[in-house]
Chains A and B, each alone.
Chain A
Amino acid sequence: GIQVEQSPPDLILQEGANSTLRCNFSDSVNNLQWFHQNPWGQLINLFYIPSGTKQNGRLSATTVATERYSLLYISSSQTTDSGVYFCAGTQGGSEKLVFGKGTKLTVNP
């Protein structure tokens, strides 16, 4: 099965800073999702982005399927952005979602 690697594992920012989170896949994926797990443990869907670029407010994501990576951009970070960000993908005809280990983001006021 595919392997999913996320970097960096930890990131500490001051409020207002920008950041880029990376997700690398060992093989091509059919589905690519980004999630935010907030401090209460909820998994929030951020982007469904198997290819291309999407934007939602201060967040945007880009997936380059041919090069097997995806990037999540957070601009003008806020303390509410803190939490763990996961990327996950499926391979072949499978619906099974494989997760990376996450990037823990801490935004300080």
Chain B
Amino acid sequence: NAGVTQTPKFQVLKTGQSMTLQCAQDMNHEYMSWYRQDPGMGLRLIHYSVGAGITDQGEVPNGYNVSRSTTEDFPLRLLSAAPSQTSVYFCASSPADGQGKNEQFFGPGTRLTVL
């Protein structure tokens, strides 16, 4: 198993540009999520999904969109990039049992810089 994969590894955008960060997992996990990591802030939840067709907002959702058309993929879209979105983005997945008792696994991250 490849586990959780993310592309690209690095990206530089100009303010106002749009892009999609890709996340895929091959473990048949129902739950997937996106986090951003900023210096001194730990990881903060952006959006999450408990299964195909179901998404919801996390702690810091503004400026980001998600969709979940398949179990395997959970892309994160930046519609109009801003410098405040410069960060490292992590995708995670786990089985979902409705009790929050499953180990979560993280991808390698995408380092995004918005100029």
Contacts and interface: CB of A to CB of B under 8 A. Distances in A.
A69 interface: no
A30 interface: yes
Nearest to B45: A96
B92 interface: yes
A31 B97 CA distance: 12
Nearest to B109: A41
Interface stretch (B13-21, B65-73, B78-86, B100-108): B100-108
B48 A95 contact: yes
Contacts of A60: none
Best-surrounded residue of B44, B101, B104 (most CB of chain A within 10 A) = B104
Interface string A42-66: 1101001010000000000000000
A33 B109 contact: no
A48 B94 CA distance: 12
Contact of B58 (A45, A96, A102): A96
The main secondary structure of chain A at its interface with chain B is: loop
Interface stretch (A13-21, A74-82, A86-94): A86-94
A45 B102 CA distance: 13
Contact of A101 (B33, B35, B40, B50): B40
A95 B50 contact: yes
Interface string A4-38: 00000000000000000000000000110101000
Given A42-B109, A86-B42, A101-B42, A95 B90 contact: no
Given A35-B106, A90-B100, A100-B42, 8 more contacts: A33-B104, A41-B108, A43-B106, A86-B43, A92-B100, A93-B100, A98-B45, A99-B44
Interface of A: 30-31, 33, 35, 41-43, 45, 48, 50, 86, 88, 90-102
